[in-house]
Amino acid sequence: MKNKIYNYFIYIFLINIFVILSALFIEYILKVKPCALCIYERYPYYLILLFTILFFFKTNWKNQLMILIIITSIVSFFLAGYHVGIEYGLINELSSCKTEVSKNISKDILLKELQSKLAPSCKEVAFKLFGLSLASINMIMSLILTILYYKIFLWTKRTNR
């Protein structure tokens, strides 16, 4: 049973590495510039990676770490859901997401802002996969992972190992 718990944490680690590497691949290899929320949506995955690494040093913390992983995954779901709401115009953008330029701006200042490569607006969908934005995919994946993490947590509690 102990090996099964280790395997679950390895799977959690690998899933989160895959998600992060996919985001980095899309950003740096495919050259799709992420918006501010896209960057924020990566943080829960980094945090879950940290929790899974902690497990291998503190195996007696497995239940507490699973609770933290579940909470972090729920936060990831709501963050992605917020982003999807912005994409569909259901929610107003954060000020950090807006890239509107003032009409009373000089050409020199405008050129400097464009050269600094402003992050795109959070409501612009620059990349789709299977007809879904990455925020939509992240929301769906976060929901599925939250359910999976909860089932793993219940299993670890039930087996009491």
Domains of the chain: 2-93+106-159 (1.20.1550)
Rounded average pLDDT over 89-97: 73
pTM: 0.80
Backbone angle region of 89, left / alpha / beta, with phi > 0 → left and psi within -120 to 50 → alpha: left
Beta strands in 11-122 (DSSP E): none
Q: For residues 7 and 97, which has the higher predicted lDDT (pLDDT)?
A: 7
% of the chain beyond a pLDDT of 70: 81
DSSP 76-107: HHHHHHHHHHHHTTSSPPPTTT-----TT--H
Sort strands 132-133 and 128-129 into parallel, antiparallel or unpaired. Answer: antiparallel
